[in-house]
Structure 1
Amino acid sequence: MSSLTSDQVALQLESLPNWSLEGNSLSKTFTFEDFADAVGFMVRAAFHAQSLEHYPVWQHDYNTICVRIGDPAQHAIHSRDVQLAKRLESLIG
């Protein structure tokens, strides 16, 4: 697992619409049509997180999911943080 420089993080964020850097985490709020769509996204996202053995912190409220990806103990953004963010983006049609 390699940590990214601030320039590398900035470059990766250019390809991740509406993601932002918050401390040592990547974050985004996803909004869906309804509760079922939001939960469906979380289930699909769980399979990607499991395959990477990298788990986001998320907050779910009806049709909104706030996702934070990162490991506060590492004090940096890592390549797998970006990889998971990109996989979550691929779930949005």
Structure 2
Amino acid sequence: MTPLSKEDIEKKLLRFPDWEYYDNAIHAEFEFDNFKDCFSAMSRIAFECEALNHHPDWTNVYNVLTISLSTHSANGVTEKDFKLAEAIEFIVEVQE
């Protein structure tokens, strides 16, 4: 898998207003009403990650989920990251 150029990443991010590109990855932070809702979203995201065989760097503190996506084998952001970001956005949107 080939990493995307910075220009391509920034263009694709226009569809993902909650995400930013820095440190060779795309990043987002999502806040939920409580820990249970956050953990529920994480569980649903985990199933998508397994289906796509692509796993995020993420942290959870109470009701906040922070996610970073990059394709480590490509040493950068690829189409695979945007496919997972799209799935994450769908899950988080449904959760709200």
TM-score of the pair, normalised by structure 1: 0.92
Indicate conservation of the 8 Å contact 2:32/2:64, yes or no. yes
- CA RMSD in angstroms comes to 1.3
Unaligned runs of 5+ in 2: none
Using the TM superposition, name which of 71-80 and 31-40 deviates more: 71-80
Q: Which residue of 2 aligns with 1:34?
A: 34
Which has a greater percent of helix? Answer: 2
Structure 1 residue 2: deviation in Å? 3.3
Moved over 6 A (4+): none
> C-alpha offsets along residues 35-69 of structure 1, whole Å, 9 cap, x if unaligned?
11000000000011001100001110110010011
Aligned ranges 1:1-93 → 2 under 5 Å: 1-72=1-72, 74-91=74-91, 92-93=93-94
Q: What TM-score results when the alignment is normalised by the length of structure 2?
A: 0.89
Kindly state the Cα deviation for residue 71 of structure 1 after the two structures are TM-superposed: 3.2
- Between stretches 14-23 and 68-77, larger displacement belongs to 68-77
Secondary structure, counterpart of 1:58 in structure 2: strand
